[in-house]
């Protein structure tokens, strides 16, 4: 069972006095009623609200923060700060937005600051990398915390001996994916599309620019492969870039017949896919950006089942 789901389930059970099994039965019933269009975490939050349980005054760990929570309270150390950006609204008003990443001993998360008083703490240098801050009444938007003028943002006296600077990889089924999750899932490839190609700068790996071409920079043909993976709970589009495409055995870029055979040979194969769940704004759906592919370790699988 997923770690943060288990922790929230434990809180709901302890507050309500209802057995775990009964709460999980209600979660599955809620998901069935909504035709599976809501995650287990989302359904659990709905059940908690129906029971009159609110996490508004609960201080949570970062790995307990779930999409949809409206007033989250937690503490974290600043591990990354991005440049403050200025913007102009459609009505002509000017504003600022800042992004930072906070971490505790369980995970880390991006925090988006919209209030000028909060941003002033960054501009003054009072809040910088290494400083621990306390968040109050933050709103979850997918897997980010957004702070408006009614949220609290202040320096904390709390200390952390260690923090999670990398996103913990969660072993999850596809049906339980949440946006921005870093996941590991054992699944079958059930569909593979024709790869797309682009000319890249081999040093940076990025699409080569006109300026680089004009300067005589080397060019390398690189591939992007889209597949559909299915683990029995659901399916999702997986996006693989050059290194992952080659790891899957697609290397005959100049021979269309051999490339098609290599692509078709992937259908029905099972792997452990690692990656990040992201929203594709063009198709308005979620996809898994694959950054690791491993063979299924049967000995490890048997041991886990035992």
Among residues 135, 165, 195, which one ends one of the domains? 165
CA nearest to 144, candidates 82, 235, 237, 53: 82
Give the pLDDT confidence of 116-154 residue by residue, as tens digits. 999 999 999 999 999 999 999 999 887 799 999 999 999
Same domain, 26 and 149: no
Same domain, 10 and 100: no
- Cα→Cα distances 130→55, 74, 103, 157, Å: 28, 16, 10, 12
Q: Mean pLDDT throughout 109-120?
A: 96
CB atoms within 10 A of CB 29: 12
Same domain, 198 and 285: yes
Same domain, 24 and 106: no
Radius of gyration of the chain (CA): 23
Same domain, 63 and 150: yes
Residue 94 is part of which domain span?
Answer: 56-165
Same domain, 111 and 123: yes
What letters, b where the CB count within 10 A reaches 16 and e where it falls short, cover 227-246? bbbebeeebbbbbbbbebbe
Same domain, 14 and 99: no
Give the pLDDT confidence of 38-58 residue by residue, as tens digits. 777 778 888 988 888 877 767
Domain count, the chain: 3
Same domain, 107 and 218: no
Same domain, 193 and 217: yes
Please give the share of the chain, as a percent, with pLDDT higher than 90: 52
CA distance 245 to 194: 12
pLDDT at 306: 60
Give the pLDDT confidence of 155-179 residue by residue, as tens digits. 999 999 999 998 778 888 998 887 7
Q: Mean pLDDT throughout 212-226?
A: 89
Q: Which residue has the higher pLDDT, 120 or 212?
A: 120
Among residues 117, 136, 165, which one ends one of the domains? 165
Question: Which CATH number does the domain housing residue 75 bear?
Answer: 2.40.50.140
147 near 133, Cβ under 8 Å? Answer: no
Q: Which residue has the higher pLDDT, 151 or 30?
A: 151
| Confidence label for 1 from pLDDT (cuts 50, 70 and 90) | very low
In this predicted structure, the answer to whether residue 249 has a pLDDT above a threshold of 50 is: yes
Across all residues in the chain, what is the average pLDDT? 88
Same domain, 240 and 256: yes
CA distance 220 to 44: 48
In this predicted structure, the answer to whether residue 190 has a pLDDT above a threshold of 70 is: yes
77 near 130, Cβ under 8 Å? Answer: yes
Same domain, 77 and 202: no
Among residues 130, 165, 200, which one ends one of the domains? 165
* 3-class DSSP assignment, residue 7: helix
């Amino acid at each position: 069972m997923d770690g943060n789901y288990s922790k929230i389930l434990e809180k709901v059970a302890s507050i309500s006095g209802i057995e775990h099994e009964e709460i999980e039965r209600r979660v599955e019933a809620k998901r069935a009623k909504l035709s599976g269009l809501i995650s287990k975490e989302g359904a659990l939050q709905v059940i908690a609200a129906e029971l009159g349980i609110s996490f508004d005054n609960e201080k949570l760990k970062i790995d307990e923060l779930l999409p949809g929570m409206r007033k989250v309270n937690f503490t974290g150390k600043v591990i990354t700060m991005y440049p403050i950006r200025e913007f102009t609204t459609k009505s002509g008003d000017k504003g600022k937005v800042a992004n930072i990443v906070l971490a505790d001993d369980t995970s880390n998360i991006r925090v988006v600051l919209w209030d000028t008083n909060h941003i002033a703490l960054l501009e003054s240098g009072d809040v910088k990398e290494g400083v621990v801050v306390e968040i109050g009444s933050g709103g979850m938007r997918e897997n980010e915390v957004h702070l408006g003028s009614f949220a609290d943002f202040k320096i904390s006296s709390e200390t952390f001996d260690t923090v999670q600077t990398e996103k913990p990889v969660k072993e999850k089924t596809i049906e339980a994916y949440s946006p921005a999750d870093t996941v590991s899932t054992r699944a079958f490839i059930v569909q593979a599309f024709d790869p797309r190609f682009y000319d890249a700068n081999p040093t940076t790996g990025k699409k080569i620019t006109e300026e680089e071409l004009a300067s005589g920079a080397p060019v390398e043909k690189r591939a992007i492969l889209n597949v559909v993976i299915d683990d029995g709970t659901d399916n999702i589009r997986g996006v693989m870039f050059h290194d992952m495409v080659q790891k899957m055995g697609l290397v005959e870029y100049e021979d269309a017949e051999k490339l098609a055979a290599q692509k078709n040979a992937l259908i029905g194969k099972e792997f452990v896919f690692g990656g990040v769940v992201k929203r594709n704004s063009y198709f308005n759906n979620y996809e898994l950006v694959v950054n690791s592919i491993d063979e299924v370790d049967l000995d490890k699988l048997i041991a886990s089942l035992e």
